[in-house]
Amino acid sequence: MSGGQSPGLEVVMPRRCHPIACALLFAGLVVPLAHLAAAPAAAPPAAAAPGAGALAFSAAELEQARAIRERALGDDTGYEVLRSLTSRVGPRSAGSPGDPRAVAWALEELKALGLQNVHAEPVTVPHWIRGECQVDLVSPWPQHLVAAALGGSVATPESGIEAEVVPVTNLDELSQGDTTRFAGRIVYFSGRMARATDGSGYSRAVVVRGRGAGEAGKRGALAVVIRSVGTDRNRLPHTGSMRPEPNDPRIPALAISNPDADLLEDQLASGRPVRMRLRNTSQWADSTRSANVIGEIPGRERPREVVVLGAHLDSWDLGTGAQDDGAGVAIMSTALHLIGEAKVKPRRTVRVVLFANEEFGLSGARTYARDHAGSAAEHVLGMESDLGAYAPLGLHSRVPPDRLPAIRVMASLLAPLGVEYRGNDASGDADVGQLLPLGVPVCALDTDASEYFDLHHTANDTFDKVDPLLLRRNVACYATLAWLAADLEGGFGRAPLGRPTGR
């Protein structure tokens, strides 16, 4: 997943918005629900206005869903899919050599998993090249710091930049006091991300990654260095995309690892002026072609109606994109594989969409929403896995209140896996959330995010960090939910687009 916020943006927050969804919402990566209330409502699918029976599940349907769940809990297909992706493709950021390799891998892998209608849909993606960066403290005590450019950072001059460091905690502090003190200096943002099961520390901390350089640049800063947005204590910086506004001055922006941030702060605490030298060679190249990769298990009765399972195929460049979002790719692809192997196929089609370029602006999701807007009414439900293969804890939905009984039955099948139903307040995740303005109902599965931000966007996002049993559990959740959602005779109608209602 990506992230980034716009400070001061006024949006009406859903009452029980998931904290990470909230971060995306602030960032303009998902559409605030209050804005959607006025959107033209898409026509309900043909099967709407159903009777009570059409909104419930039969005993046979529940039995089939349970069988898929149990099969998933004993199956390591997903783990091996992820091993293959991380070992044979590895880093695959938009426009990089790994990007087309990932597309080719996905086409081959989805076919090998028995999916049908496997194809790629073209997406234009931006192409930022990291280059190299060096950060050194020059005085009072020389030290080398471990750093990484933030996604979208411009380069320094070839000879680098050397200047005094001015520390601030966050964007608020940047706008207080004597704001001329930043001119000609390097601004250092020291705010530290808090660890939380719901990942809520991210939305608070990530704002400086998105807007720090823009806001400091407006005040004459030469460059920005931030404490990594991450909960670990490893000497590995966390990258991630910036969210510049059109009139922002473009200045270099780098993240240093948490231990390096501690070291810098120890020197700042001495009270002596701290001078830093930094050099960065990042650059933008021309936009290029990538693709969303799609595969399906066709429905037995209404194959044109689809339940969408989404994940993003791209990753950051520093690691091999195991948890972000190779795990989602493996989980959702395997969920379809198991549905395809089930004794009874569901009424409707289940479609996996492996989105291009989530990290650098949701190119794949925006393209899919545009290209498939005409069939939005045939999109019955969307779900996305983009928070790692950690323990599933809670299910959120956004469906019309009269469909909540069906959602509660679906959730009850996940209760043995430790999942509780948490409300009808889902706002969609980054990619599938792009379908919400089109009226597509969504479900969202919370996972335990307490360790995710230890490795998120770092070189440490590698295969060894994934627990195969937890990955199985995620596959079980999505396969169960998807089979039932695709089979529910009456479907889910259109997503309510105002404030969330009901529980």
Residue from 50, 259, 340, 400 that binds a second copy (CB under 8 A)?
259
Q: Rank residues 123 and 322 by Cβ distance to a second copy and give the closer one.
A: 322
Instruction: State the minimum distance, in angstroms, from the CB of residue 260 to a second copy.
Output: 8
CA 457 to chain centroid:
11
- Cβ atoms of 442 and 426 within 8 Å: the answer is yes
Distance between CA atoms of residues 485 and 479, nearest Å:
10
Residues in the chain: 503
Query: Using the rule CB under 8 A, is 443 a contact of a second copy?
Result: no
The answer to whether residues 248 and 283 touch, using CB atoms and an 8 Å cutoff, is: no
Amino acid code (one letter) for 341 = E
For residues 205 and 186, what is the distance between their CA atoms, to the nearest angstrom? Answer: 19
* Stretch near a second copy under the rule CB under 8 A, chosen from 152-160, 286-294, 441-449, 456-464: 456-464
d(CA 256, CA 236): 8
Q: For residues 472 and 230, what is the distance between their CA atoms, to the nearest angstrom? A: 26
Closest approach, Cβ 142 to a second copy, in A, equals: 8
Known catalytic membership, residue 358: yes
Touching a second copy, residues 311-330 (CB under 8 A): 319-320
Sole binder of a second copy in the list 35, 235, 370, 503 (CB under 8 A): 235
Distance CA 148, CA 252 (A): 11
Give Cβ neighbours of residue 199 (< 8 Å, ≥ 6 apart): 19, 20, 387, 449, 450, 452, 453
Only segment of 50-58, 112-120, 142-150, 217-225 that touches a second copy (CB under 8 A) = 142-150
Question: What distances in angstroms separate CA 492 from CA 378, 439, 484, one per listed residue?
Answer: 11, 11, 11
Give min distance, CB of 439 to a second copy, in A.
Answer: 42
| 499 near a second copy, judged by CB under 8 A | no
Question: According to CB under 8 A, which one of 463, 478, 483, 492 is a site residue for a second copy?
Answer: 463
Smaller CB separation from a second copy, 203 or 460 = 460
When binding is defined by CB under 8 A, the residue of 228, 231, 333, 460 that contacts a second copy is 460
Per rule CB under 8 A, count of chain residues that contact a second copy: 33
Q: Is 93 left (phi over 0), alpha (psi -120 to 50) or beta?
A: beta
Helices (H) and strands (E) in the chain, counts: 14, 16
Taking the least distance from each CB to a second copy, the nearer of 139 and 169 is 139
Give dist(CA 444, CA 170) in Å, integer.
Answer: 30
Work out how close the CB of 389 gets to a second copy at its nearest, in angstroms, rounded to a whole number.
15
Closest distance of CB 190 from a second copy, Å: 14
Comparison of 233 and 408: residue with beta carbon closer to a second copy: 233
Give the residue, chosen from 231, 267, 323, 385, that forms a contact with a second copy under the rule CB under 8 A.
267
Residues 346-385 that bind a second copy (CB under 8 A): none
Beta carbons of 417 and 476 less than 8 angstroms apart: yes
Residue 124 near a second copy by CB under 8 A: no
291-327 residues labelled b (16+ CB within 10 A) or e (exposed)? bbbbbbbbbeebbebbbbbbbbbbbbbbbbbbbbbbb
**Which positions from 77 through 116 interact with a second copy, judged by CB under 8 A?**
83, 86-91, 97
Q: Which of 122, 131, 142, 273 binds a second copy (CB under 8 A)?
A: 142
Among residues 358, 359, 384, 489, the one annotated as catalytic is 358
244 binds a second copy (CB under 8 A): no
Question: Restricting to residues 167-206, which ones interact with a second copy according to CB under 8 A?
Answer: none
Whether the CB-CB separation of 149 and 239 falls below 8 Å is answered with yes
Instruction: State which of residues 27, 242, 263, 495 lies at the interface with a second copy (CB under 8 A).
Output: 263
Alpha helices in 132-273 (DSSP H): 171-174, 200-205, 207-218, 258-269
Q: Which of 5, 96, 190, 258 binds a second copy (CB under 8 A)?
A: 258
Q: Indicate whether 141 belongs to the interface with a second copy (CB under 8 A).
A: yes
The residue range among 10-18, 139-147, 344-352, 480-488 that interacts with a second copy, by the rule CB under 8 A, is 139-147
**Which positions ≥6 away from 442 have C-beta within 8 Å?**
381, 382, 383, 397, 398, 426, 427, 428, 432, 433, 435, 436, 495
Q: Who's near 132: CB < 8 A, 6+ residues apart?
A: 279, 280, 281
Kindly state whether residue 210 participates in binding a second copy, applying the rule CB under 8 A.
Answer: no
Binding-site ranges for a second copy (CB under 8 A): 83, 86-91, 97, 140-144, 146, 233-236, 258-259, 262-263, 266-267, 319-320, 458-460, 462-465
Active site residues: 358
